[in-house]
Structure 1
Amino acid sequence: MIRRRGNGDLDALVAVLAEVHSHSGYPHHWPADPASWLTPGDLTAAWVAEVDGAVVGHAALCGREISRLYVAPAARGRGLGMSLLRGVEQEAVASGLRPVLEVKTTDISAIALYEQQGWVRRATERQDWGAGETVEVHRYEAPYRAAPVADE
């Protein structure tokens, strides 16, 4: 199940984020305050994925950028990442936005998900991530989907 994130979800989301970081290195640098990292200043809305009442995934919309998208390793393969992505994308489109996102070029499973959903790679660039570290990322834009028309 995908639902809007509530304030009471943050502790569980931080725990899941720690699992994801240990398993697959996301986020690239572990944040000093993970709960604040999940709630950036430009946050528009956020969603969680649940399985049997347990929080197992997260996605955020920050302006028109989809961010902080992750699913617990044990919950992968159930379509939760795709459901989170589509939910955030639909919210953005309903607000008149065409969402974008960035992903490290080494994150093959995320790239496969985005491209399977029709996202279009607009650029590949090297970014300075601090302390002399350069990371290569792909920039994607959602496929054009018309916003739903409200009944009159």
Structure 2
Amino acid sequence: MPSVVRRRVDADLGACAAVLAEVHAHSGYPHHWPEEPVRWLTPDGLTAAWVAEAGGVVLGHAALCGREVSRLYVSPGARGLGLGARLLAAVEAEAAARGVRLVLEVKTSDVSAVALYERRGWARRGTERQEWGVSGATEEVMVHRYEAPVGGREAGA
């Protein structure tokens, strides 16, 4: 069944949260499960968001917050279909239209995401230890910082 990447609408949020729960159970993303997943999907500073879907079923999500790629994930059952790359391309195209050079951070242990960004020409700008916390408890996490290629990429590339 063919898939499409399109702008997210409010009616998608429940399905996006359900896919996020699958992703979290499978790979631990997001690192800390949000108390309010729908609110987590609509952070302050949200510029735009997209979903990947096939047959009316949401399979993935990505967001642009200012100049940062955020909330990018794909259902475990839909991995390997190129949806992550297509979602990232949608964010890249929007940023290019706005004249914004994208950045992102990713846990060093998320090797599939690291591979995606590097395949698409993103430049690693550093690796650092960060303290992430919820409810007063913190832990150290290693993250790579990336910057989009100069000139971006064409959507669908």
Matched, 1:118 2:124: no
Cα shift at 1:10:
0.4
- Structure 2 length normalisation: TM-score? 0.92
2: CA distance, partners of 1:84 / 1:132: 31
2: CA distance, partners of 1:132 / 1:29: 11
Cα shift at 1:58:
0.2
SS of alignment partner, residue 60 of structure 1: strand
Go from structure 1 to structure 2 and tell me whether the alpha carbon gap of 1:146 and 1:12 turns closer, same or farther (over 3 Å shift): closer
Go from structure 1 to structure 2 and tell me whether the alpha carbon gap of 1:52 and 1:136 turns closer, same or farther (over 3 Å shift): same
2: CA distance, partners of 1:146 / 1:19: 30
Q: Is the 8 A contact 2:89 2:153 kept in 1?
A: no
Cα shift at 1:93:
1.1
2: CA distance, partners of 1:76 / 1:147: 21
Match 1:133 to one of 136, 139, 143: 139
Go from structure 1 to structure 2 and tell me whether the alpha carbon gap of 1:3 and 1:135 turns closer, same or farther (over 3 Å shift): same
What is aligned with 2:107? Answer: 104
2: CA distance, partners of 1:111 / 1:142: 13
Matched, 1:39 2:42: yes
1: CA distance, partners of 2:153 / 2:63: 19
Matched, 1:79 2:72: no
Cα shift at 1:146:
6.2
Segments of structure 1 that go 5 or more residues without pairing to the other structure are: none
Q: Is the 8 A contact 2:108 2:142 kept in 1?
A: yes
Q: Is the 8 A contact 1:94 1:147 kept in 2?
A: no
Match 2:31 to one of 20, 25, 28: 28
Go from structure 1 to structure 2 and tell me whether the alpha carbon gap of 1:104 and 1:54 turns closer, same or farther (over 3 Å shift): same
What is aligned with 1:70? Answer: 73
Q: Is the 8 A contact 2:92 2:152 kept in 1?
A: no
Q: Is the 8 A contact 1:96 1:147 kept in 2?
A: no
Identity of aligned residues (%): 68
Residue identity in the other structure for 1:53? G
Q: Which runs of 4+ in 1 moved over 4 A?
A: none
Match 2:149 to one of 125, 131, 143: 143
2: CA distance, partners of 1:58 / 1:132: 27
1: CA distance, partners of 2:142 / 2:75: 24
